[in-house]
């Protein structure tokens, strides 16, 4: 329906009059934001001028859009701040954060925002350097491939007297046989003390005891020292024994049987660097557990533990299932014991001999390490665009757990080695023989018996464990160098020197370390007879060698430290497929590095043993060495 024009005009006039009447009957409210947050979100509230401390006349009505005839304070009305003054220090709207400072506080050159200003001259040009406050935090997680230094070259056992290398012999330089090798009288014999002819002429003479390795050309094989040969007992009745001097038989082994020990570990770093190059770095690592095991022979056959009876029961096929190639351990006699006589003549001044293990020979080494250090970085002492050098100092803790274990089983049988007398070679840790048909196994064997000795009594199952726990802590200082400042590629490294207090705990434990044949023969010839042979329980003949021991020592001393590391960082993860899809790697860097740690005056488990034969006991006897650890690392580094 069409509305007449005059009705529309009349309606408009009435609406305007009604609006004016309403405005005149109620106070005017200024539309102002209640707070800084309301201003940001567009929320407003109606505020009476009387509520904000204005004069009463300020509460008089006013129609929006008209100029006020009243004396309002400057800025009243609209969206101007509802304050009774125009203090330029006041921040509007209310509750504005204090960091939103008015000019000049918002300037980056405002003093609180500047960490350091310095003016300096370089090559005739003056520079003014302004460093703004900035702190970059970093976190690195690394995979470690660890290489521990090997356990050294100590003899497994006491160090025996040196031997003339097998097959070498002594050269006859005089007489009709000049230039010839002295043969059996020289090869694989104890070097001994040389007897000079003082240039008076004559052919070289043979001295010694005239028996195998105890005979030498122009030399006297005497003690003190440990005989490097193992003993083979006579059959029943056991009242004598012989030393097996065949080259390659029952070799003495040393720790070079092991190579360097490898492991897998992890390392983490956390810290920060500020705009001046100062900072803090906290590092913690677990280098991993590395272990090597070398064994010859068996402890059981098809799950059945080996005994002397089991060996004899399986010796009817022409050979006895024992071997002279496994190894032996040189031992130091207990006080008051003498070496077993050879050819009826007492070997005076010798302090021990080797105990053979023809059934089983096993050695194991194990190393692990963990620790951490705190580095504080000083301002650079040398700085260019691509290179900076800065001192660092801090503290370090390192724990090293080093272990060595030995187990050996000897049959205790009386026999003669098949084919070994033909000669051949075999150095320590090898024990081989080049002769065809030389099996180094006996064809027949018997169990020795004698006064107070029953069959099977000489069967020996021996074991020893050596544990060294080293706790090292102390100050360190060094130099850090950075090449390149780009986040796309940089290289940094660190050289550190330290002096650590090293508190070590050494424990030697085990059972049955000794030579039962020498022990029996010595006690057989003693005034009290063979009853002394029953060590633990005189009423139990099976308890002859149940000799357990557990000896401990602790020491504290200083150990020097040197560590060298170098790392390469590159922003390449964003180019690696799949990885670049993960949000966590968006700002991460790839890092690869190498670290070498060297510590002096460290006790090693395999070289901290005094191998004393029963009835004495092995106990700690430390020969300090240099220990080292190498780490190759792959890492992800976050900077935030």
- For the chain, 640 residues long, the average pLDDT of each consecutive 10-residue run is 62 64 49 49 48 48 45 47 53 63 59 73 82 86 96 93 67 41 56 87 78 77 89 84 87 91 96 91 97 95 93 86 95 85 74 95 97 96 91 97 97 82 41 59 89 84 96 98 88 97 97 89 62 44 65 96 97 87 87 97 95 92 94 94
Please, are residues 392 and 494 in contact by the beta-carbon 8 Å criterion? Answer: yes
Q: Which candidate, 465, 429, 401, places its Cα nearest to that of 155?
A: 429
CA distance 25 to 55: 19
* pLDDT value of residue 64: 44
Task: Give one DSSP letter per residue of 461-484, joined into a string.
Answer: EEEEEEEEEEEEEEEEEEEEEEE-
Helix (H) or strand (E) holding 327: none
* pLDDT value of residue 247: 83
Please tell me the pTM assigned to this model: 0.76
Please, are residues 206 and 216 in contact by the beta-carbon 8 Å criterion? Answer: yes
Q: Phi-psi region for residue 78, left (φ > 0), alpha (ψ -120 to 50) or beta?
A: left
Which tokens go with 556? 């504290």
Which tokens go with 84? 């009774």
In order of 140, 269, 539, 570, the CA distances from 583 in angstroms are: 17, 21, 76, 18
Q: What are the start-end ranges of the H helices in 165-250?
A: none
Which tokens go with 191? 């070097």
Say which residue the tokens 């070590």 belong to.
504
* pLDDT value of residue 176: 41
CA distance 191 to 227: 11
Residue count (the chain): 640
CA distance 619 to 401: 18
Please, are residues 399 and 472 in contact by the beta-carbon 8 Å criterion? Answer: yes
* pLDDT value of residue 17: 63
How many other C-beta atoms are found inside a 10 Å radius of the C-beta of residue 273? 19
The CB-side HSE value for 186 (13 A sphere, CA atoms) comes to 16
């Amino acid at each position: 329906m069409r509305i007449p024009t005059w009705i529309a005009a009349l309606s408009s006039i009435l609406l305007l009059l009604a609006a004016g009447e309403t405005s005149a009957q109620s106070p005017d409210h200024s539309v102002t934001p209640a707070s800084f947050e309301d201003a940001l979100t567009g929320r407003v509230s109606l505020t009476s001028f009387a509520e904000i401390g204005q004069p009463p006349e300020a509460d008089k009505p006013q129609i929006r859009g008209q100029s006020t005839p009243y004396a309002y304070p400057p800025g009243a009305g609209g969206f101007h701040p509802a304050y009774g003054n125009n203090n330029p220090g006041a921040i509007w709207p209310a509750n504005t954060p204090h960091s939103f400072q008015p000019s000049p506080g918002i300037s980056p050159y405002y003093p609180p925002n500047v960490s350091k200003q310095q003016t300096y001259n370089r090559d005739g040009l003056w520079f003014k350097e302004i460093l703004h406050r900035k702190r970059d935090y970093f976190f690195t997680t690394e995979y470690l491939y660890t290489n521990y230094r090997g356990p050294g070259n100590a003899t497994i056992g006491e160090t025996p007297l040196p031997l003339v290398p097998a097959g070498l012999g002594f050269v006859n330089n005089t007489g009709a046989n000049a230039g010839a090798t002295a043969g059996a009288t020289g090869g694989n014999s104890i070097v001994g003390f040389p007897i000079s002819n003082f240039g008076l002429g004559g052919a070289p003479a043979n001295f010694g005891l005239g028996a195998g390795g105890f005979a030498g050309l122009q030399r006297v094989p005497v003690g003190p020292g440990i005989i490097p040969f193992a003993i083979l007992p006579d059959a029943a009745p056991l009242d004598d024994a012989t030393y097996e001097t065949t080259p390659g038989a029952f070799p003495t082994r040393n720790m070079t049987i092991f190579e360097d020990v490898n492991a897998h570990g992890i390392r983490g770093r956390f810290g920060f660097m500020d705009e001046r190059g100062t900072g803090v770095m906290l590092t913690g690592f677990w280098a991993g557990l590395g272990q090597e095991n070398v064994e010859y022979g068996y402890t059981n056959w098809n799950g059945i533990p080996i005994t002397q009876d089991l060996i004899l029961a399986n010796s009817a096929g022409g050979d006895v299932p024992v071997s002279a190639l496994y190894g032996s351990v040189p031992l130091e006699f207990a006080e008051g014991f003498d070496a077993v006589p050879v050819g009826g003549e007492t070997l005076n001044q010798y302090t021990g001999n080797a105990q053979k293990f023809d059934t089983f020979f096993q050695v194991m080494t194990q190393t692990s390490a963990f620790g951490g250090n705190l580095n504080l970085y000083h301002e650079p002492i040398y700085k260019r665009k691509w290179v900076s050098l800065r001192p660092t100092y801090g503290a370090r803790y390192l724990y090293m757990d080093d272990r060595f274990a030995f187990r050996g089983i000897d049959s205790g049988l009386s026999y003669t080695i098949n084919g070994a007398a033909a000669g051949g070679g075999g150095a320590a840790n090898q024990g081989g023989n080049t002769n065809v048909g030389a099996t180094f196994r006996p064809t027949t064997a018997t169990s020795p018996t004698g006064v107070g000795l029953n069959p099977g009594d000489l069967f020996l199952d021996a074991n020893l464990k050596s544990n060294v726990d080293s706790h090292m802590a102390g100050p360190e200082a060094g130099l850090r160098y950075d090449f390149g400042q780009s986040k796309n590629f940089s290289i940094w490294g660190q050289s550190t020197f330290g002096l650590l207090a090293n508190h070590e705990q050494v424990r030697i434990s085990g059972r049955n370390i000794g030579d039962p044949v020498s022990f029996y023969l010595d006690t057989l010839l003693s005034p009290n007879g063979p009853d002394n042979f029953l060590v633990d329980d005189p009423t139990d003949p099976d308890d002859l060698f149940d000799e357990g021991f557990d000896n401990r020592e602790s020491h504290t001393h200083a150990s020097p430290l040197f560590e060298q590391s170098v790392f390469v960082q590159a922003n390449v993860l964003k180019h690696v497929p799949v990885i670049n899809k993960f949000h966590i790697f968006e700002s991460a860097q790839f890092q690869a590095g190498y670290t070498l740690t060297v510590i002096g005056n460290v006790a090693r488990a395999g070289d901290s043993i005094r191998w004393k034969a029963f009835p004495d006991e092995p106990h700690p006897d430390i020969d300090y060495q240099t220990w080292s650890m190498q780490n190759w690392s792959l890492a992800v580094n976050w900077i935030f």
